[in-house]
Amino acid sequence: MKKYILSSLFLFLLFSASAQNKKVFPFGIVEEIESKKLGEKRTLNIYLPQDYHPDSTITYPVIYVLDGSQNEDFPHIAGLVQFMNMYDILPKSIVVGISNLGKSRYRDFTYPSQDKRDLKDLPTSGGSENFINYLENEVIPLIDENYKTNAQKTIIGQSLGGLLASEILFKKPYLFDNYIIVSPSLWWDEQRMINKRDEFLETLSKNVKEQKSKNSDYKKQIFVSLGKEHPVMHKVADKLVDAIKKLEATKNGTIQLFYEPILDQNHATILHLAVYKAFEKFYKKETKE
């Protein structure tokens, strides 16, 4: 089912506008999914670029935003994309905000932990496998089937979302071409996944090789950033970056890593600037002076 976003604020504006004979400014579209993978109804918030038309032959990259609810990162990232489109800093793109359901992010963004402290603090955690299957088998196919998409896909994740984006990069790297990983919570499970990073690099390497054989121009771009964080956050981010650097060095430009800590920002303020910098790096050739 497809409808305009109508949060409580938009409903207020709608009624106010009706009383004053004014129009409401719609920002996006809502898609609802009866997810078999998650066993519940979930919501996607979708921003379409200016001049988008379903009958056009033009297709667009898709940017998937974790923590993509109306009151989370979706409107901010979609607004940033619109702004950067206005100045031709990145191609016009479709933005898909993947909404959370209540406190489901703690369940959806974490793999099962063996750490008693994690289990005590987040007793509903450990559902990332189902959520990744939801992305792969329900969300992405729905967007590709119903919207004018091309093959290029980007994922953005911060904090626990950065943990999930890292897990996808390690385990199912073919799902996305571009990864924007901000302040990833790789401390989860006593850093178990990042400490086993070398075991996952073979999967990433194999995927890149397969993609390169199909398209000689193919490249996978990975942007990692964090602000002024707890020392453990810096330690695990460095482990992630070091692992990708080793692989980058063997792939002749097929893997491009950008690591840009922004130490005058903190966990709460870094996302916008980091995403902006990531897009500048990914689409450097398209920047106009």
Q: The domain that contains 275 carries what CATH number?
A: 3.40.50.1820
Q: List the one residue out of 77, 40, 43, 76 whose CA is nearest residue 62.
A: 77
pLDDT at 239 over 50: yes
Q: How far is CA 133 from the centre of its chain?
A: 15
User: Count of domains in the chain?
Assistant: 1
Does residue 128 lie in a domain region?
Answer: yes
Does residue 4 lie in a domain region?
Answer: no
Lowest mean pLDDT among 16-25, 124-133, 139-148, 174-183: 16-25
Averaged pLDDT, 189-199: 94
Does residue 13 lie in a domain region?
Answer: no
Does residue 231 lie in a domain region?
Answer: yes
Looking at residue 289, what is its pLDDT?
46
The per-residue pLDDT for range 214-230, each reduced to its tens digit, is 999 999 999 999 999 99
pLDDT at 285 over 70: no
pLDDT-above-70 percentage for the chain: 91
CA dihedral sign, ordered 134, 139, 145, 150: negative
For residue 117, how many other CB atoms are within 10 A of its CB? 9
* Whole-angstrom distance, CA of residue 236 vs CA of residue 145: 37
Does residue 240 lie in a domain region?
Answer: yes
pLDDT band at 288 (very low <50, low <70, confident <90, very high): very low
Does residue 10 lie in a domain region?
Answer: no
Does residue 9 lie in a domain region?
Answer: no
Burial class (CB in 10 A: 0-12, 13-18, 19+), 217: exposed
Query: What CA–CA distances, in Å, run from 284 to 88, 275, 279?
Result: 10, 14, 8
pLDDT at 156 over 80: yes
Averaged pLDDT, 164-179: 97
The per-residue pLDDT for range 74-85, each reduced to its tens digit, is 999 999 999 999
Average pLDDT, the chain: 91
pLDDT at 13 over 90: no
pLDDT band at 23 (very low <50, low <70, confident <90, very high): confident
Averaged pLDDT, 19-42: 87
Averaged pLDDT, 93-122: 96
Looking at residue 10, what is its pLDDT?
54
The per-residue pLDDT for range 135-147, each reduced to its tens digit, is 999 999 999 999 9
The per-residue pLDDT for range 62-73, each reduced to its tens digit, is 999 999 999 999
pTM of the model: 0.92
Looking at residue 252, what is its pLDDT?
84
Domain that holds residue 252: 24-286
The per-residue pLDDT for range 251-268, each reduced to its tens digit, is 888 999 999 999 999 999
CA dihedral sign, ordered 79, 84, 87, 93: negative
